[in-house]
């Protein structure tokens, strides 16, 4: 009934598509679809936003997002551990755009941050020992500091 009303309301001369004219078809079906598709999606949770950034190897924006997050937000510390660990693993195993020395120093700082946030994290502790051992074997000073 509503479609018939709208069809009669928007009828103009021209080719017809069923019982609606093309302009009516556009007004009835296409315009609402465009409005819905252009509307803002529901805001994502902090966890979803961080996961999305990690999927794209966007570690620094994820860390910035967590730096701005409320410390009382449930799970924020676990997310920080997750992001620092993912970033350190990326630098250690996947990144090829940085020199090895810079990569390992940065990875070491992130592993240390994970160990600071989660003292029992065996993956971080193992990598800290491994990277520091490599620096020792090379006769180089072990980089200091912890990632922010």
pTM over 0.75: no
Alpha helices in 11-143 (DSSP H): 22-25, 31-38, 46-55, 59-67, 76-93, 100-117, 122-137
Q: Has residue 143 been placed in a domain?
A: no
- Domain range for 26: 2-38
Asked if 93 and 107 touch (Cβ cutoff 8 Å), the reply is no
**10-residue averages of pLDDT along the chain (148 residues):** 50 52 54 54 79 93 90 88 92 74 89 96 96 92 88
118 and 88 share one domain: yes
* Beta-ladder partners of 16: 21
Angle between the 122-137 and 100-117 helix axes, to the nearest 10 degrees? 140
54 and 34 share one domain: no
Domain containing 101 — which CATH number? 1.25.40
Task: Give Rg (Cα) of the chain.
Answer: 27
Query: Residue 146: what pLDDT?
Result: 87
Query: Residue 24: what pLDDT?
Result: 54
Query: Residue 60: what pLDDT?
Result: 92
32 and 102 share one domain: no
Query: Residue 6: what pLDDT?
Result: 47
Query: Residue 35: what pLDDT?
Result: 57
Q: How many angstroms separate the first and last alpha carbons of the chain?
A: 63
Query: Residue 41: what pLDDT?
Result: 56
């Amino acid at each position: 009934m509503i479609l018939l009303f709208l069809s009669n309301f928007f009828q103009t001369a021209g080719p017809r598509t069923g019982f609606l004219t093309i302009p009516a078809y556009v007004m009835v079906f296409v315009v609402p679809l465009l409005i819905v598709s252009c509307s803002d999606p529901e805001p994502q949770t902090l966890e979803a936003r961080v996961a999305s950034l990690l999927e794209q190897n966007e570690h620094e924006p994820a860390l910035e997002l967590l730096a701005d997050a409320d410390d009382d937000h449930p799970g924020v510390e676990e997310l920080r551990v997750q992001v620092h660990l993912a970033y350190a693993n990326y630098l250690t195993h996947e990144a090829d755009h940085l020199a090895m020395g810079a990569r390992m120093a940065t990875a070491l700082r992130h592993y240390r941050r994970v160990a600071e946030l989660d003292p029992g994290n065996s993956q971080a502790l193992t990598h800290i020992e491994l990277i520091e051992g490599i620096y020792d074997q090379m006769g180089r000073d072990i980089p200091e500091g912890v990632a922010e």
